[in-house]
Amino acid sequence: MAKTIGTAAHRALIELLIQKRMAAATTQNELARQLGEYQSFVARLESGQRRIDVIEFLELAKILDFDAAEAIRAIELLL
């Protein structure tokens, strides 16, 4: 399996998360606090420097109030 960081699908995932965070009117600091992480954790996710595992993705969907399955289906179209 090839590396995923930097692929079109990874960039789409990052863009989706940024859009969902902004739609929720949540700052990186606020999101980090809700995740129990530092702001730099969210910054690394949003800059593409860090992969997002499934459990993290589900937690982000819960916090930012979006349908994780629907988001995955949209990104899957890029594969």
What's this model's pTM, rounded to 2 decimal places? 0.89
Which pLDDT tens digit goes with each residue over 47-76?
999 999 999 999 999 999 999 999 999 888
In a domain? residue 13: yes
Please answer whether residues 21 and 29 qualify as being in contact, where contact means their C-beta atoms are separated by less than 8 angstroms: no
Q: Give the integer Cα–Cα distance in Å for 3 and 34.
A: 29
In a domain? residue 1: no
2 vs 46 pLDDT, higher one: 46
Q: Give the integer Cα–Cα distance in Å for 38 and 36.
A: 7
Where in the sequence is the domain holding 37, given as residue range(s)? 8-76
In a domain? residue 2: no
In a domain? residue 47: yes
In a domain? residue 72: yes
Which residue's entry shows tokens 């009117």? 25
Domain count, the chain: 1
pLDDT of residue 1 exceeding 70, the answer is: no
In a domain? residue 54: yes
In a domain? residue 44: yes
Which pLDDT tens digit goes with each residue over 11-23?
999 999 999 999 9
